[in-house]
């Protein structure tokens, strides 16, 4: 495998790097920028950042030019992820819209739906969330219990969604509901493009153990969707959800490169923490554990590159994305667990008392558990790898 970048690709990197230096918020690169703490102000900050990305033609570089993208190559996407991770750019508030809903609309949506939604997704004018998970369905999307019942030209939707990222900011929801009972449980499912700003939709925050608010419960009480809000065909939502999930897996690149950066920070932590006036990195057992994590993180990166090579050849992402998702999320959890162990009793401190001052290790350690759940649990990824890559028999419970 050739790891070198072409002159054209390096020129692309330089163009992006220059734009970031000129357009990131003042104080961002030198660490003096203060992120808004109040939810509404934070949400507006992220919308403004996406609008700036869109104006610079950097919001969705892989999208076709006719939809406001750059027709970027896969390698240019890799460079984009690398540069965004390098500067730790503000998160994408419309991640669901940009990486999942938008590409799915281009693939399956009607011309009217594309005209209505895609430009607003790109600019951040409309933020999207994903209405998949339910309290009693777990990771089994086919066990969806939210119902949509036809009433004239309307669909009346009732049910509950949970762990819905960005629902407190969202204007629209890519919602999965049951519209009929089929022979198999993944039959009779339909996908809706639901308006979140209506009386029948109630969003309740889920406060995490680190005190942050990223997830929500969404209650649907006679919420209304129309025929024009159905994407694909009625009762054919399983095909649509699979298409969307394939697009979701392509966003793993940023996590792979973040893992590299996090490992480097872990090494610096081992250098800075001392016991009996000796840096922990001088201890044989610590170096052994760091080496083990380096091997795993490097293996995750190389496996990601291998899957990218296949994608370059066939032209579309495949189920190998489950391997990347599994490896990266599990290694990330191990890495932050090691960071907490290295800190000893200081690991229980928070905010200004914590090493690095902003509870970096503590917050990410707690968040790392969620990474093995969101976007498909590790257990589901293992089943996918076993059945669809290794060709093993299906789970006996299916």
3-state secondary structure 243-302: HHHHHHHHHHHHHHHHHHHHHHHHHHHHHHCEECCEEHHHCHHHHHHHHHHHHHHHHHHH
Distances (CA, A) of 198 to 96, 127, 192, 220, 338: 20, 15, 15, 10, 46
How many of the other CB atoms lie within 10 Å of CB of 343? 19
Q: Give φ, ψ of 220 to 5 degrees.
A: -115, 110
- Spell out the residues 6+ positions from residue 293 whose beta carbon is closer than 8 angstroms to its own: 263, 266, 331, 334, 335, 338
Q: How far apart are the C-alpha atoms of 319 and 302, rounded to whole Å?
A: 17
What one-character DSSP code corresponds to residue 232?
Answer: S
Is there a catalytic annotation at residue 38? no
| From 83, 126, 248, 320, the catalytic residue | 248
* β-pair partners for 86: none
- What's the angle, vertex CA 142, arms to CA 99 and CA 147, rounded to 5? 95
- Spell out the residues 6+ positions from residue 13 whose beta carbon is closer than 8 angstroms to its own: 5, 79, 82, 83
Residues recognised as catalytic = 248
């Amino acid at each position: 495998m050739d790891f070198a970048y072409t002159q054209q690709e390096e020129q692309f990197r330089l163009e992006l790097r220059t734009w970031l230096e000129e357009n990131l918020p003042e104080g961002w690169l030198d660490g003096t920028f203060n992120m808004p703490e109040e939810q509404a102000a934070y949400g507006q900050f992220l919308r403004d950042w996406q609008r700036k990305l869109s104006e610079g033609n950097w919001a969705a570089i892989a999208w076709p030019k006719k939809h406001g993208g750059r027709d970027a190559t896969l390698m240019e996407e890799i460079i984009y992820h690398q540069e965004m991770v390098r500067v730790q750019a503000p998160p994408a508030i419309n991640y669901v819209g940009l990486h999942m809903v938008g590409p799915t609309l281009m693939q399956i949506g009607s011309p009217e739906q594309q005209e209505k939604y895609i430009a607003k997704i790109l600019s951040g004018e409309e933020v999207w969330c994903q209405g998949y998970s339910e309290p009693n369905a777990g990771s089994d999307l086919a066990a969806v219990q939210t119902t949509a019942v036809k009433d004239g030209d309307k669909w009346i939707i009732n049910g509950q969604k949970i762990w819905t990222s960005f629902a407190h900011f969202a204007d629209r929801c890519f919602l999965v509901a049951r519209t009929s009972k089929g022979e198999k449980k993944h039959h009779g499912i339909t996908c809706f493009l639901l308006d979140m700003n209506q009386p029948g939709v109630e969003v309740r925050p889920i406060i995490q153990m680190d005190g942050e608010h990223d997830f929500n419960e969404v209650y649907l009480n006679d919420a209304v969707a129309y025929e024009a809000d159905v994407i694909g065909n009625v009762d054919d939502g399983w095909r649509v959800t699979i298409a969307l999930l394939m697009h979701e897996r392509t966003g793993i690149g940023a996590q792979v490169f973040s893992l590299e950066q996090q490992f480097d920070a872990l090494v610096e932590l081992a250098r800075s923490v001392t016991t009996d006036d000796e840096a922990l990195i001088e201890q044989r057992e610590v170096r052994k554990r760091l080496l083990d994590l380096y091997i795993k993180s490097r293996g995750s990166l190389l496996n990601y590159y291998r899957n990218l090579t296949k994608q370059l050849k066939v032209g579309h992402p495949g189920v190998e994305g489950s391997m990347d998702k599994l490896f990266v999320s599990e290694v990330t959890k191990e890495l932050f667990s090691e960071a907490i162990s290295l800190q000893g009793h200081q690991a229980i401190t928070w905010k200004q008392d914590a090493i690095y001052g902003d509870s970096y290790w503590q917050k990410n350690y707690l968040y790392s558990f969620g990474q093995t759940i969101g976007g498909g649990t590790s257990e589901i990824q293992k089943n996918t790898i076993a059945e669809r890559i290794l060709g093993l028999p299906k789970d006996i419970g299916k």
